[in-house]
Amino acid sequence: MSEKAVVTQRGAVLLGDSVACDAFDADRPLRVVTHAHADHLVGLRRSLRSGKRVLMTAATRDLIGVVNGSLPLDDGSVELLDYGETVEYGDERVTLVKADHILGAAQVLVEDSEGSRVAYTGDFRVDGTEPLVDCDALVVEATYGSPSFKRAFKVDVRELLVSMVEKRLSAGTVYVFGYYGKLQEVMQILRRADVCVPFVMPERVFNVSQVCEAHGMQLGGLTLSTEKEGRELLDGDLPCVAFYHMNTRKKVGLDSSRICVSGWEFRSPCRQIGEREHLVALSDHSDFCGLLEYVKRCNPKRVVTDNYRVSHGATLAREISRRLGIPAVAMPR
């Protein structure tokens, strides 16, 4: 396991002999980017400049281009793969498999000529993610790797979110705060529920949303907050939904109805956190039970938990070993 699946001190997930995922590693000729969130882009500029082959989906490339426009993504180092498409390097085959997280997210499977199978989940939600079965070693994310991180809600959080937005629109603008990817998921949830008011947003959220639409998401009716229509809607507190990055929460829409979408809520599907502000427990990661269920479905011989990006890898490894009887270790230690 230590030879075929490792998470390094610098966050690189090493698979087989050739592949490094989600961080730079000088000794690996192939770099895979599982998705466009910052903690999975570690050292990407260095990977691109060093001439490594950098593999990702087209959607991930386009999202990175919007959020990190200075990265040299068009210099020939980036190779785009569809889900299920395989790249060969030496005697190894690298395949990207869809992960239910944000647009373009992928799992990574590396197989060799001797029949070895090692894999990395990246970030994922269990229900929409195909299990990578019968691996010799599986590296699994551990964002919610503690047993205290369980969402045993009896209500549909998406339906609750739609109901909250519809109710508050009668009083004017509703501000939604979240991170890239999740904001666009909320837009699609609302559109599919026939919420037809304008969606207003700043330029970067707008650009990310356009990429998501280009890759098949159904968002529709997008308006820049800097355009005349957008300014009039927001200044007049008129019925619309305004989408802003979570980092702007303390500066924007302070006197309006506000909804924050976050996976870091386990007590209730919805909780009031301000006079006109609520937190909705919408996550793009599996909770603790989902992580265990995914590992159970995969039935790997061994598990490595990613202990670089969160602090719950050791706990998850211990629980996998105890509850599922599968040898597991957290890396880096």
Cα–Cα distance measured from residue 314 to residue 265, given in angstroms and rounded to the nearest whole number: 21
- What Cα–Cα distance (Å) separates residue 136 from each residue in 33, 119, 126, 304, 326? 22, 8, 20, 11, 11
pLDDT for the residue 75: 79
Cα–Cα distance measured from residue 287 to residue 264, given in angstroms and rounded to the nearest whole number: 10
Which pTM value belongs to this model? 0.94
Residues in the chain with pLDDT values less than 50: 1-2
* Backbone torsions φ then ψ of 315, nearest 5 degrees: -65, -45
pLDDT for the residue 311: 79
Confirm if 237 and 221 have CB atoms less than 8 A apart: no
pLDDT in tens, 276-310: 999 999 999 999 999 999 999 999 999 999 999 98
* Tokens at 111, concatenated: 């197989």
Which is nearest to 115 in space by CA: 94, 136, 130, 95?
A: 136
Domains for the chain: give ranges and CATH numbers: 5-148+285-331 (3.60.15.10), 157-280 (3.40.50)
pLDDT for the residue 2: 47
pLDDT in tens, 115-172: 999 999 999 999 999 999 999 999 999 999 999 999 988 899 999 999 999 999 999 9
pLDDT for the residue 74: 85
Q: Is the preceding omega at residue 332 within 30 degrees of 0, hence cis?
A: yes
